[in-house]
A and B are shown apart, each in its own frame.
Chain A
Amino acid sequence: MIRENLNQWDFVVAAYVVGIAGTLAMAVWAWQTMRSAEKRRDKVRGKVRDKVTRK
């Protein structure tokens, strides 16, 4: 039961901002760390392969 004169939409908007911002930040972070880790691995593999080919 709502007893206080609060604007309910303020709470709805705050919850959606927290939920959407948290979820999007996590998804972008996971994607970017994956891409940079895979790039680093491919770079390391490529360098090793280059040296083996040169030998």
Chain B
Amino acid sequence: MHAFANPTRFLKLASWLTPLLLVSGLVLVALSLVWGLFYVPPDRLMGETVRILFIHVPAAWLGMGGWTAIAISSLVYLVWKHPLAALAARASAVPGMVFTAICLATGSIWGRPTWGSWWVWDGRLTSMLVLLFLYAGYIALAQASARDGGSYKIPAIFGLIGAINIPIINRSVVWWNSLHQPPSITVGKSAIDLAFLVPLLIAVLGFSLLFGGVVLARMRALLADFQAEARLRRKAMEAA
């Protein structure tokens, strides 16, 4: 891991990995969504609306995964002071927030025909909404600290504290009464029929690859901005 903390080595790796992740992710997402939309049978209880599963579940997984990435990168930054870890945390915030918003929107659309309501204030939905607000707060904090040229310490601490919400989201359907169904996939077990499980796993893999590609693209953009600013500052100092 320490080897990749070198920006030159990182850029060498990211230059070919970014388009590879984005293209392979898009291909798998397209495949899984076409499969889910046209080739999966309707569910006995949920009917045709079961097809929303192939967007809603990967979005939920990546909404939580994005914050997990922020927390791990923040911890690495605080312990080893790797600047690339700070960039990785900042780069995970926007895609994590987008997927959290997609999860909430598609969940709301799914809730209307199945629960009879667009929104209910239960544990799962509320904790997911809190995650969206945490992302907004984190992005504002990280941008403010970058603009002021300050340390990344405060956003990193915020990222670690916010991680408390991840196990709350995960266990919310077990701890509290909820309209939301309990987890269908746990470690080594699945209550989902293979007809739904296979395209779902392809969708999760495709969206995850796409997420990885977007995070790498964001890291490269943030690194390039930082390098350009540093060069301009040095130039100005030399001229003065």
Is A54 an interface position by the 8 A CB rule?
A: no
Is B146 an interface position by the 8 A CB rule?
A: no
Docked Cα-Cα span, A16 to B106, in Å, equals 8
Asked if B227 and A41 make an inter-chain contact with CB atoms under 8 angstroms apart, the answer reads yes
Is B183 an interface position by the 8 A CB rule?
A: no
What residues on B are CB-neighbors of A15 within 8 Å?
52, 55-56, 105-106, 109-110
**A interface residues, tally (CB under 8 Å):** 30
Asked if A19 and B59 make an inter-chain contact with CB atoms under 8 angstroms apart, the answer reads yes
What residues on A are CB-neighbors of B37 within 8 Å?
12, 16
Main secondary structure of the interface of A (DSSP, over half): helix
Main secondary structure of the interface of B (DSSP, over half): helix
Asked if A34 and B220 make an inter-chain contact with CB atoms under 8 angstroms apart, the answer reads yes
What residues on B are CB-neighbors of A23 within 8 Å?
29, 98, 102, 207, 210
Asked if A18 and B109 make an inter-chain contact with CB atoms under 8 angstroms apart, the answer reads yes
Docked Cα-Cα span, A49 to B227, in Å, equals 15
Asked if A40 and B47 make an inter-chain contact with CB atoms under 8 angstroms apart, the answer reads no
What's the minimum C-beta distance from A22 to chain B, rounded to whole angstroms?
Answer: 5
Where the two chains meet, the residues of B that have a C-beta atom closer than 8 Å to any C-beta of A are 18, 22, 26, 29, 33, 37, 45, 47-49, 51-52, 55-56, 59, 94-95, 98, 101-102, 105-106, 109-110, 112-114, 116, 207, 210, 213-214, 217-218, 220-222, 224-225, 227-228, 231-232, 235
Where the two chains meet, the residues of A that have a C-beta atom closer than 8 Å to any C-beta of B are 1-4, 6, 8-9, 11-12, 14-16, 18-20, 22-23, 26-27, 30-31, 33-34, 37-38, 40-41, 44-45, 48
User: Can you list 22 A-B contacts (CB < 8 A)?
Assistant: A2-B113, A2-B114, A8-B48, A11-B49, A11-B112, A15-B105, A16-B33, A19-B106, A22-B101, A22-B105, A23-B29, A23-B102, A26-B214, A27-B26, A27-B213, A31-B22, A33-B218, A34-B18, A37-B220, A41-B227, A45-B227, A48-B231
